[in-house]
Every structure is written in structure tokens, then in C-alpha cells.
């Protein structure tokens, strides 16, 4: 079945970086975008950005530009999200999700529904 399995929980100090992995199985990894979303405890869902595994193209939410990098390794069907210069406000559960981008203009496609989601990775930033 289609599945996304994320790496385990992380504890980081302020100023450090964290890299979360998301391994895909059950479908063609390069046929769908991977998006990243985070959720602080008791809060809503916050979209961070997208990556096209086939081209490696990315797009980041303005809030995270300059601090987030999304990459992939197609040989092992795995996507990565690295967030740098961590601060306490970055403490959250980070999710990856498969997205079928459907709104296309100028050869680039965006939007679409999130299905499935990874199980989430708790990142705690604390001194």
C-alpha cells in the first residue's frame, strides 16, 4: 500500500539544524510531489513547502525561505526536509505528505490534495 515512513524524534539545541527523512513506498516516487507541513502542540497545520522528486524543483513558504531546504534521493525513494537556525518556536511535529499537483501553468504544477501523510516526526528545540 502507499506509505510514507518518517525518521524518528529529534532533540536539538537552539541554532542547530535538523534533517527529517520521509521514505516512500507503494507508488512511483517521482510521480508525485512531496510537501512538508508542521504542527505545534495544540495548534493548526502550517504548510512549509513542496518538492518535485523528479526534477528536484522546490518551493518554500515565505516564512521559511532561507532556513528550509527540501531534497531527495531517488535511488532510495526518500525525501528530506532540513531546517536550520532552529529556535524554540520550531518545536513541532513535522509531517511529509504525497501531493498530486494539479494546477499547472508554464510547465509547473502546484496545489492538490495531501494523501497519504507520514506518521510525523517530533522535533524538540531546547537548550
Partner 1 sequence: QSVLTQPPSVSGAPGQRVTISCTGSSSNLGAGYDVHWYQQLPGTAPKLLIYDNNNRPSGVPDRFSGSKSGTSASLAITGLQAEDEADYFCQSYDTRLSGSQVFGGGTKLTVL
> What are the residues binding partner 1 (CB under 8 A)?
35, 37, 44-47, 50, 59, 61-62, 95, 99, 103, 108, 110-120
Q: Could you tell me the three cell numbers for 105?
A: 501553468
CB of 40 to partner 1, least distance (A): 12
Q: How far is the CB of 118 from partner 1 (least distance, A)?
A: 7
In the complex, minimum distance from the CB of residue 75 to partner 1, in angstroms, rounded to a whole number: 26
Instruction: Kindly tell me which of 124 and 127 has the beta carbon lying closer to partner 1.
Output: 124
Closer by beta carbon to partner 1, 61 or else 68:
61
Strands 108-110 and 58-60: unpaired
How far is residue 58 from each of residues 44, 76, 89, 91, 108, measured CA to CA in Å? 23, 19, 24, 23, 11
Nearer Cβ to partner 1 (16/67): 67
Task: Report whether 54 contacts 109 (CB < 8 A).
Answer: no
Alpha carbons 32 and 60: distance in angstroms, whole number: 17
Amino acid at each position: 500500500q502507499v506509505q510514507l515512513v518518517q525518521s524518528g524524534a529529534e532533540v536539538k539545541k537552539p541554532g542547530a539544524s535538523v534533517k527529517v527523512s520521509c521514505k516512500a513506498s507503494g507508488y512511483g516516487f517521482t510521480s508525485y510531489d512531496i510537501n512538508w507541513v508542521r504542527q505545534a502542540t495544540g495548534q493548526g497545520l502550517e504548510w512549509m513547502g513542496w518538492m518535485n522528486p523528479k526534477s528536484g524543483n522546490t518551493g518554500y513558504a515565505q516564512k521559511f525561505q532561507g532556513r528550509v531546504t527540501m531534497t531527495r534521493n531517488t535511488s532510495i525513494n526518500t525525501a528530506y526536509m532540513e531546517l536550520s537556525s532552529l529556535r524554540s518556536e520550531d518545536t513541532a511535529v513535522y509531517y511529509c505528505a504525497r501531493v498530486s499537483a494539479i494546477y499547472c501553468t508554464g510547465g509547473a504544477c502546484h496545489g492538490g490534495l495531501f494523501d497519504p501523510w507520514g506518521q510525523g516526526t517530533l522535533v524538540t528545540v531546547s537548550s
